[in-house]
Structure 1
Amino acid sequence: MRALTALLVGLLAPFTIASPSVKRVFAPGPYRAATNIYEIPPCGSLAHVGSKIHVLAANGTVIHVATAGAPTVGQFKSAVSRDLMDGWVAFAYFLNPGFSLISSFTATWEVPPLPETDHGQTIFLFNAVQNYSNTILQPVLQYGPSVAGGGSFWAVASFFLDGVNTFHTPLVRTSPGATLNGALILTGSSSSESIFNYTSQFTNIPGTTLNTSVPALLNVAAATLEAYNITALSDYPAGATVFSGINVEFASGNTKPDVAWRPVADTADGLGSTVDKDGAVDAQITVKY
């Protein structure tokens, strides 16, 4: 079990920087090449068509065609290359055994205060569904810069990432103290074509909806603090972020696997992750800075 947990932590964590000759930018998940970044227009969507990903306008017109990325496995960056850990630094996750599709994963949290210090750091807070090859869908709260833009303020967007590409809705600014309702919904599937349709959004913030088809089941759920370029603990907000009202529903209806959230945190740097209430209904996870 310990070996399995270690493997899963590696899969859930971000990629290392592949090459210093390729410009890299931040997105929730891994470091990304500065190419293959696509903003989805309002009411637009994504569609996987064979080995391609089509970015669709609201009227269904194809406005971009990307080549789907090959599966890749991520890992934490080496401790010798950092002062404070980059990547998924505090989170809790649930591995769905696969016999019952996750049909809905929702969570509520509050936008934290602004960090006391600003050194160009990037902070992400989100709930997400993903698979073992780092295909991930997530409604994201962001402080600092990312592939979607940003700065010294909090903003939200939905992101979809595969092994190469990053797709995101436009950033929408928000303020400390605002309540966020992050929702990931399985809207349909085709077993004959192995296509799964998902929606990511903040249900209480217009302009954050991302609809996508995925040729793979997303069966790992997580509530996560992710960060880059942290130079001091004061680069984080003060206090803690509580992911509350966490609810996981399954396509099989009454057949529900036991949901046991597994906390992981960079305790060496003073960060914490605790499961205050376990289970599939009204669970709660706290990330302490």
Structure 2
Amino acid sequence: MPTTTRKRTESESDAVLAPGGSILRNRVTQVQPEKVLQFDRLGNPVLIPRKQLPSRPELREQMVAKGFALTPGGYRPSSLVQRIEQGQALHLGPITGDGTGEPRIVELTTNNVIKKIAQPSLQPSELPALGSGWITYAYWNNGTGHPISDFKTTWRVPPPPESKQNQTIFLFNGIQNYGANFGILQPVLQWGPSAAGGGQYWAVASWYVTSNGYAFHSPLVPVNPGDTLIGAMKMTGRSGQLFNYSCLFEGLNPTQLQVFGIAELLWCNETLEAYSIESFSDYPAAYNTPLRDINLLTGNGTPSVNWTPIDAVTDCGQHTIIVNNSSVNGEVDLYYRFKEILNDTAINAPGAVEFGNRLVVAWAGTDPEHHLNIIQSPEEDVWFDKLTLNDTSPAGATLCVFHNRLYLAWSGSGNQQLNVMSSANGIYWEQKVVLNETSVGRPALTVYRDQLVLGWVGSDLQRHLNVLFSGDGVNWHSKRTLGEEGIDAPALAAFNDRLFIAWTGTNHERNLNIMSSSDQGESWQNKVILPETSVAGPSLFVYSNQLYLSWSGTDINHSLNTILTNDGVHFTDKVTLWDSSDYTPILSTCYDGDMGVVWTGRDAFHHLNLMTL
């Protein structure tokens, strides 16, 4: 148990036992099914109704119907969203007795009032809180006693999302103040629509959004993936307790927003904010966006900065990493999903399966003999019980769970004979069977109607597909040699009470094929030749009542791909990842039931990779 130096004011009788150990009763809260646990800007837990979760696609339609528009401060009344043109400035005016300002747009050269903004009619409780759509971020509060004079961050425009739905993504560095009608000033990179415009492209604008409903923005300027952005905010003046600021993207003058007469900006952040996100593919097609060269000045000096990461939403493995706390060249990396590159290296494709609440990965090593290896992981970044077997294979390995045992199958070195053995814990292996069957590649395993099914591409000249059945993993029967021919390794899966087999054809284009059987492989129906092509065999996996097919493409990058089907015949929702492999990417459940993909990388050493989807 971790120790704490905090003085306890409650009695020991107020402590209760939780899975993490003893905890004070008043710190235990039941989360009802209709509620969602999120964290506010300071990392405090907050329960919100599930129906108000900002990422829900339906929320946009509901809010628009109520007269709200989306801003990087959440949904705001459309009537209170104002565009500030070049040559204009936002003036919040004198602070009135109740602590509110009188917003107006003024001409910079003459200080003439162009437009006065009406006071909001909504109560604060009717407005989404600032930061309600924040996914992951880092913050630092300026407690130096010296106002922030400059705050800059540099980052590159990421690739567009793999799935282009109706999602909106905001990336920014920002500063927030406190008090009545507090607000946040932010140079924002945006994908998707917002109150400033936009669509399925990247664009930038500067914003000042307040807690009582106002939202002001500069014109929106399109940018391209790979462009380097420098989001900069600068204090330009001060009168007593009121401050003036300028916000823009350097080199993009139309994005300049000047704000006069607001409270001191103190709370700095580096943020990923998103709305209408349905899956990992709605985020940019990258692991992360590094926010670099973070430069903070207070007065004429550089403060001591200590960023605090907050992961408010983690359904895709989103998280923030503090790389460097420097106030001169700091770095905060915002991750859209979890990815891990293991130290281990592999030849050919790995095997992966969830077993006993752990992700188990097996592979053939890059040592000269290509020994088989097995390792287990109960949670992200935690691996243990690595085992190197005496058995070897140049073709990789396959894993499957059957009758509460873990099964490993491979094609042996030299003789290409198929081998199968099992374990109750992934450490001690037994019941090894060497079959009188040979394969040119890695075999496939699945469970269908309480039978363990083994599939492979034969070493005959035509490379026919084969399947074999076993009720105990030791005694094998009912071999079926199919009329189809494939390369490398086939894939097997049980779906909708049918046995599916997928393979990469031997035609010049190497098209993917799939068909299914309902009679233990005696006959096969519903063959589909997909237009997709692969450099290796495919993988099949059932998740959320859908059948997923994954493969490495024949494009120059050998990109990883997934596609799904509800019936085994009609395939939709193809996603092409930016990662690549010369071998089969393997789908599996991992970590809290999420779907993940494990593959052998194309780096010089062929490291194993894992990413949640």
Q: Which residue of 2 aligns with 1:53?
A: 103
Q: Which residue of 2 aligns with 1:35?
A: 79
For 2:74, the aligned partner's letter is P
Deviation for aligned residue 1:61: 3.3
Q: Unmatched 5+ residue regions in structure 1?
A: 78-86
For the residue of structure 1 that corresponds to 2:199, the secondary structure is strand
**Paired residue for 1:62, among 113, 117, 121?**
113
1:221 and 1:260, CA in 2 relative to 1: closer, same or farther beyond 3 A?
same
1:169 and 1:232, CA in 2 relative to 1: closer, same or farther beyond 3 A?
same
Aligned counterparts of 2:67 and 2:206: Cα–Cα separation in 1: 23
Relative to total residues, which structure has the larger strand share, 1 or 2?
A: 2
Contact 2:186 2:207 in 1 (8 A): yes
For 2:117, the aligned partner's letter is A
Contact 1:68 1:164 in 2 (8 A): no
Contact 1:106 1:248 in 2 (8 A): yes
Q: Unmatched 5+ residue regions in structure 2?
A: 1-5, 7-26, 28-38, 46-51, 95-100, 337-613
- Residues 1:247 and 2:302 are matched in the alignment: no
Contact 1:43 1:209 in 2 (8 A): no
For 2:113, the aligned partner's letter is V
Contact 1:106 1:182 in 2 (8 A): yes
Aligned counterparts of 1:75 and 1:40: Cα–Cα separation in 2: 21
Contact 1:107 1:245 in 2 (8 A): yes
Q: Which residue of 2 aligns with 1:80?
A: none
Contact 1:94 1:259 in 2 (8 A): yes
Aligned counterparts of 1:68 and 1:189: Cα–Cα separation in 2: 25
Q: Which residue of 2 aligns with 1:84?
A: none
**Paired residue for 1:212, among 259, 272, 283?**
259
**Paired residue for 1:74, among 105, 119, 129?**
129
Deviation for aligned residue 1:67: 4.3
**Paired residue for 1:264, among 304, 310, 326?**
310
Contact 1:202 1:209 in 2 (8 A): yes
1:249 and 1:15, CA in 2 relative to 1: closer, same or farther beyond 3 A?
farther
Contact 1:15 1:30 in 2 (8 A): no
1:27 and 1:242, CA in 2 relative to 1: closer, same or farther beyond 3 A?
same
Structure 1 vs Structure 2 CA RMSD: 2.7
Deviation for aligned residue 1:151: 0.3
**Paired residue for 2:205, among 153, 157, 173?**
157
Deviation for aligned residue 1:43: 2.3
1:175 and 1:279, CA in 2 relative to 1: closer, same or farther beyond 3 A?
same
Aligned counterparts of 1:90 and 1:281: Cα–Cα separation in 2: 23
Contact 2:246 2:259 in 1 (8 A): yes
* Number of aligned positions between the proteins: 271
**Paired residue for 1:201, among 245, 248, 256?**
248
How big is each residue's C-alpha offset from its partner over 1:81-107, in whole Å with a ceiling of 9 and x where there is no partner?
xxxxxx110111101115111111000
For 2:233, the aligned partner's letter is L
**Paired residue for 2:215, among 166, 175, 198?**
166
How big is each residue's C-alpha offset from its partner over 1:41-91, in whole Å with a ceiling of 9 and x where there is no partner?
1121111222311112354332211146698893776xxxxxxxxx11011
Contact 2:153 2:291 in 1 (8 A): yes
TM-score of the two chains, using structure 1 as the length reference: 0.85
How big is each residue's C-alpha offset from its partner over 1:147-185, in whole Å with a ceiling of 9 and x where there is no partner?
101000000010111121111111000100000010010
Q: Which residue of 1 aligns with 2:435?
A: none
Tell which structure's C-alpha radius of gyration is larger.
2
Contact 1:10 1:75 in 2 (8 A): no
Percent of residue pairs bearing the same amino acid type: 36
Contact 2:231 2:250 in 1 (8 A): yes
TM-score of the two chains, using structure 2 as the length reference: 0.41
For 1:151, the aligned partner's letter is G
- Residues 1:222 and 2:272 are matched in the alignment: no
1:174 and 1:6, CA in 2 relative to 1: closer, same or farther beyond 3 A?
closer
- Residues 1:141 and 2:189 are matched in the alignment: yes
Aligned counterparts of 1:179 and 1:37: Cα–Cα separation in 2: 28
For the residue of structure 2 that corresponds to 1:263, the secondary structure is strand
Q: Which residue of 1 aligns with 2:238?
A: 189
Aligned counterparts of 1:205 and 1:22: Cα–Cα separation in 2: 34
For 2:248, the aligned partner's letter is Q
Aligned counterparts of 2:309 and 2:191: Cα–Cα separation in 1: 23
